[in-house]
Copies of this chain bind each other. A is one copy, B any other.
């Protein structure tokens, strides 16, 4: 195999980073995974460490190839602006990631990877949320992708936290009883709504996003509050 024949794609998110080594025609050779690499959240040092780890794992069985000869595409959370591209670009130079590289954000690679075309619109509701699109002139636009404190409306995190807040308001008798109380406490093996305070303080974003499933479960029972939460999430994200 010619040493120019490798491609490495990296999908770096706020939860985990996935890397893949393929041949020039896209045949998967190695796939690996490491920790989060949104440098706004974990910092540049940690991001660099994660990228190094991914690339080392992908290339350890590849002979006679320099990083410089591999084509790279890095699609990373927090890589949305020129300034971000400069920072990650410098990081790539330090690591030795070659000149043949595309630096873009995770919503862009999700769009192209998801629909197999360079134009279209993608609505992502994972732990976070973003809507991203590119038209036939290459113009792109986005809404959301602000992170869980500033936005992420309609995301798993948003649905999970709204479910928890509904339990709190119901416990205060500021809203009618909801099946969410029973479902949330069962899922988390807690006795009282007030136990949620301690649980939530200790929980990470993914654990809260996981609770979105509880809201979906409560909808199955016809619970009005859970229905309202999902309806509002749908309106916000579309």
Q: Which residues of A contact B (CB under 8 A)?
A: 40-41, 78, 80-81, 142-144, 146-147, 149-151, 161, 164-165, 168-169, 172-174, 192, 194, 196-198, 200-201, 208
Sample of 17 more A-B contacts, CB < 8 Å, known A78-B197, A146-B168: A40-B201, A81-B194, A143-B173, A143-B174, A146-B165, A146-B197, A147-B197, A149-B164, A149-B201, A149-B208, A150-B161, A150-B165, A150-B168, A150-B196, A150-B200, A151-B165, A151-B168
Q: How far is the CA of A142 from the CA of B78 in the complex (A)?
A: 41
Closest CB-CB distance, A147 to chain B, in whole Å? 5
A164 and B143 form a contact (CB under 8 A): no
A146 / chain B contacts, CB cutoff of 8 Å: 165, 168, 196-197
Chain A interface main SS type: mixed
Could you name 7 residue pairs across A and B whose Cβ atoms are closer than 8 Å? A78-B197, A80-B194, A81-B192, A143-B173, A146-B165, A150-B161, A150-B168
Complex A-B, nearest 4 residue pairs according to Cβ-Cβ distance, in ascending order: A143-B172, A146-B168, A150-B168, A40-B198
A78 / chain B contacts, CB cutoff of 8 Å: 197
Q: How far is the CA of A150 from the CA of B173 in the complex (A)?
A: 15
A169 / chain B contacts, CB cutoff of 8 Å: 151
Residue of B nearest to A171 (CB): B146
Q: How far is the CA of A151 from the CA of B146 in the complex (A)?
A: 21
A81 / chain B contacts, CB cutoff of 8 Å: 192, 194
A80 / chain B contacts, CB cutoff of 8 Å: 194
Closest CB-CB distance, A35 to chain B, in whole Å? 16
A41 / chain B contacts, CB cutoff of 8 Å: 201
